[in-house]
Copies of this chain bind each other. A is one copy, B any other.
């Protein structure tokens, strides 16, 4: 039985959910996938750092008291020594799940770079490194014979990137458009039934869909990062957030929504990118009044969806959860499965 040793950078909801999956059903997964998973390092802003090459007792970590740190445990410190742990742990895969920084991508970019420089493949759910330095980090991974995977950076665990790159092989993707933010989609739905933007946002916050500061969701900058990832990954573009025109749902009024409904249409915040006649890629985020027959018009609430326009197959759409701790942890697991497959292919090719 093969095994991957993993380092968890950040121990918030998503990496905790991944650890819980490994603890609860590691044996079942190993039988299914042909490899075992062992956590050998954890770092976290509040917990500090823990490196144990023989495998960390996850049940023990889950039993930690509030305010307790890793200090005092073998291989443990109270300080979150992210860079040191990434470079020196015995892990072969680093799982980066720290917060998204939409401005400069840090510390995510440095984490990914440190991992790839020290011989470790990386999976991340962090949009920052992928949107702001994806091409550079992919080149670094390739140069070092490693794999950089980030399925969870776009639509949580719903496998959009892998669907496009693997399942749609042989097709040319000409355009991609999607509902890429569950909070704004939920809020638009509520506005359709007569709520004001502010009340709908407050409701989304109380349900845990929206952040305390909902600006990134409502004004479209979260979607903007995701459109950069989709355009660069699926359309071979090399764009940055500055290249993505952005308008948020605050520009849609209750009157707009009523007018649209009267015409059989429904507003959705659409992130899109398409290859234009000049061969470059046009990308934008904007509220669009879609006809009800459009494949994205009926995607409601926190569900996300992405439609791909292809040459031979026309339009194909994938929809599924766009958030959730366990769902996003599955994105990490699916990335680890892909990293394993790539490593095996490399070993076979090198024989």
Q: What is the distance, in angstroms, from A25's C-beta to the closest C-beta of chain B?
A: 9
Cβ < 8 Å to B, chain A residues 157-195: 157-159, 162-163, 166-171
**A312→B21 contact, CB < 8 A:** yes
Bound Cα distance from A300 to B167, whole angstroms: 23
A317: chain B residues at CB < 8 Å are 317-320
Closest to A171 in B: B330
Work out how many copies of this chain go into the complex.
2
**A314→B321 contact, CB < 8 A:** yes
**A320→B330 contact, CB < 8 A:** no
- Encoded as 1 (CB less than 8 Å from any B CB) or 0, chain A from 337 to 351 comes to 100000001001101
A170: chain B residues at CB < 8 Å are 29, 32-33, 330, 333-334, 337
Closest to A347 in B: B348
Chain A binding surface, main DSSP class: mixed
**A163→B167 contact, CB < 8 A:** yes
Looking at the complex, which one of B169, B293, B300 makes contact with A334 (CB distance below 8 Å)?
B169
A330: chain B residues at CB < 8 Å are 170-171, 312-313
Bound Cα distance from A324 to B33, whole angstroms: 36
**Given contact pairs A170-B333, A337-B169, A351-B351, A312 touches B293 in the complex (Cβ within 8 A):** no
Range of interface residues on A (Cβ < 8 Å):
35 or more
**A321→B326 contact, CB < 8 A:** no
A169: chain B residues at CB < 8 Å are 33, 334, 337
A53 interfacial by beta-carbon distance below 8 Å:
no
Bound Cα distance from A307 to B319, whole angstroms: 9
Looking at the complex, which one of B29, B319, B349 makes contact with A295 (CB distance below 8 Å)?
B319
**A313→B348 contact, CB < 8 A:** no
Bound Cα distance from A162 to B312, whole angstroms: 17
Bound Cα distance from A146 to B313, whole angstroms: 27
Closest to A341 in B: B169
A206 interfacial by beta-carbon distance below 8 Å:
no
Closest to A159 in B: B167
Top-7 shortest CB links A-B? A298-B298, A316-B320, A348-B348, A312-B330, A159-B167, A157-B313, A317-B319
A and B contact pairs by CB, cutoff 8 A, 15 listed: A33-B169, A157-B312, A163-B318, A166-B166, A167-B334, A170-B333, A295-B298, A297-B298, A312-B330, A314-B320, A315-B320, A315-B321, A317-B320, A348-B348, A348-B351
> Given known contacts A159-B167, A312-B327, A317-B319, what 15 new A-B pairs fall within 8 Å (CB)?
A163-B163, A163-B167, A163-B318, A167-B334, A169-B334, A169-B337, A313-B321, A313-B327, A314-B324, A315-B320, A315-B321, A316-B318, A316-B320, A316-B321, A319-B319
The residues of A with any CB-CB pair to B shorter than 8 Å are 21, 29, 32-33, 157-159, 162-163, 166-171, 292-293, 295, 297-298, 300-301, 303, 312-321, 324, 326-327, 329-330, 333-334, 337, 345, 348-349, 351
